[in-house]
Amino acid sequence: MRYALRALKWATIILWLFLFSLVVTLVYSVLNIRIEVGDPQLIMENERIVWAMPAVIGNAGFYGIYNLNITTLVADTDGGVLLKNSTLVPLVQKGELYPLWHNVSLNLREIPDYQVYLLHDTNFTVKYSVSLNFARIIPCTLSLSSIMPWGAPLYNLSISDPTFQPINATHCMMFLNVSFENHSPYIDLNGTLNIEVLNENGEIIGIGEEIINVPSHQIYDETLNILVNTSKATYSGTIKLTFETSMFSYETEVPYEFG
Amino acid sequence: MNLANFSKRNLPIRILKAGIKAILIYIAYLVFTLLIQQVYEFIGEYSPLIDVFFAAIAIFAFLTEFFSGTIFKYMLEFSRNLFIIFYCIIALNGGIIDASVQNATIILNLQFFLLMIVLINLIGITRTVLSAINFLYEKSEEKIID
């Protein structure tokens, strides 16, 4: 009995010492982890807006950092997920200085019903989540959420009723005022505005193209001139406007009547 | 049962020994609070739990020493180990710590440590039970010899 008791006593002591030393070294290691986050950069790629966040993780502790996963999720006001980007670092070894880039890429065309966000300002919820397994024994997750105001690039888009001025027996000039405000802090609108004037039968009777260049937070207010073939014109019809930029395309139609 | 060991003559010595043990626990508590001073604001809500834990351990240390040489010592050690197990399970929320500060949430999985603490205390309970059996056996032997 005495030997058994002595063995149990020593087992308890050794386990307590092991636990204590583990806690001390873990706390020391956590205190010696340095995370430096650089200034995020905004990169406009072909059809994408990319927020690139540089960071350096310095692990000067005794244990490795496993499965470091940084996730950014953007959701609309109803909680619907618009985009989700993750960066996975399998291992940051002890004594290692690990540089990483966490990129959040937004392609408007990939967002469901993205045309709503071209016309209306809203607030998106941005959720950041960092999960890791420290020393393979302490999984932890840090979550942050913030509000990102979204500015519509075609905010308050208004198209006036067209006016017509005869030129000759077969043609007239149509004047159409188009205005909007580019509320987006990220998108500079560079592209074209294509206008098609259609008669009641859907035949094109006038066509025009306007190059638009509206930087962020600027107003666009232009009167467009389109030559219309009156020989095929009907009493009423539709005007089709198509905004084509590298980031998105947006199409709208307005009815018209010859005065 | 074994209360005969409580002679009035050695009572002050028992109280003195028990008091010293309890004071040592209190000093450990003070050292611990000094060590965690830097991170105190993060664990502020857990500070009453830490206070209660050290107070309970100090009381157990005092009583265990006070009743040493009696069967009550083993009962108290058994109770102390059970207390530590259940206390840690409750205080560590089953091993999952979930803390929120403004719009940030941190979830820590400390189940490994909880498992270690439970394991060590289960070994402690086993040892206490065996010690109690050994104690009773020796006492009965003494009676037979007397």
Read off the pLDDT of residues A160-171 as tens digits, 9 standing for 90 and up. 999 988 888 888
Cα of B97 to nearest chain A Cα, Å: 9
Q: Does A24 touch chain B (CB under 8 A)?
A: no
Report helix angle A2-31 to B111-145, nearest 10: 160
Do A13 and A78 share a domain, yes or no?
Answer: no
pLDDT average, residue stretch B17-43: 86
What does the alpha-carbon distance between residue B18 and residue B64 come to, in Å, rounded to a whole number? 8
| CATH code for position A238 | 2.60.40.10
Min Cα separation A24/chain B (Å): 11
Q: Name the phi and psi angles at B9, rounded to 5.
A: -70, -45
A43 and A24 together in one domain: no
Residues A18 and A38 both lie in one domain: no
Query: Are A91 and A39 in the same domain?
Result: yes
> How far is the CA of B30 from the CAs of A196, A253, B36, B39, in angstroms?
82, 76, 10, 15
What the block records as the tokens of A221 is 């207010």
Alpha-carbon gap, residue A144 to A40, rounded angstroms? 17
> Domains in chain A: how many in total?
3
Q: Which ipTM was obtained for this model?
A: 0.83
- Distance, CA of B143 to CA of A238 (rounded, Å): 113
Q: Find where tokens 């940051």 sit.
A: A92
Q: Is the pLDDT of residue B4 over 60?
A: no
pLDDT at B40 over 80: no
Give the pLDDT of residue A7. Answer: 92
pLDDT digits (tens, 9 = 90+) for A170-185: 889 999 999 999 998 8
* Higher-confidence position of A108 and B44: A108
CA dihedral B118, B119, B123, B125 (to 10 degrees): 20
Is residue A71's pLDDT more than 90? yes
Task: Looking at the structure, tell me whether residues A205 and A242 fall in a common domain.
Answer: yes
Q: Which of B107, B116, B127 has the CB atom closest to A140's CB atom?
A: B107
Give the span between the Cα atoms of B93 and B82, in whole angstroms: 16
* Domain residue limits, chain B: 3-145
The pLDDT, as a whole number, for residue A208 is 92
Same domain, A97 and A146: yes
Alpha carbon distances (Å) from A18 to A26, A61, A95, A121, B67: 12, 18, 23, 57, 30
pLDDT reported for residue A259 = 63
Q: Which residue of B has its CA nearest to A140?
A: B108
Mean pLDDT taken over chain B: 88
Best mutation target, B38, B85, B116, B129, to test chain A (most A CBs within 10 A): B116
At A66 the pLDDT is: 95
Are A39 and A146 part of one and the same domain? yes
Above pLDDT 70, what percent of chain B? 91
What confidence score (pLDDT) does residue A98 get?
Answer: 93
Whether A44 and A63 share a structural domain: yes
High-pLDDT (> 90) share of chain A, %:
58
- Write down the pLDDT at residue A258: 75
Domain coverage including residue A199: 155-257
pLDDT at B6 over 70: no
Residues A169 and A221 in one domain: yes
A186 & A143 share domain: no
The percentage of chain A sitting over the pLDDT mark of 70, rounded to a whole number, equals 100
- How far apart CA A95 and CA A29 sit, in angstroms, is 10
Chain B positions touching A130 (Cβ under 8 A) are none
For residue A42, the surrounding DSSP H or E stretch is: strand A41-44
pLDDT digits (tens, 9 = 90+) for B71-95: 999 999 999 999 999 999 999 999 9
Nearest to B127 among A8, A138, A144 (CB): A8
pLDDT 10s digits, A74-122: 888 888 888 889 999 999 999 899 999 998 888 877 787 788 889 999 9
* Domain identity same for A76 and A132: yes
User: What is the pLDDT, as a whole number, of residue B7?
Assistant: 60
Are A164 and A196 within one domain?
yes
What pLDDT score was predicted for residue A230? 87
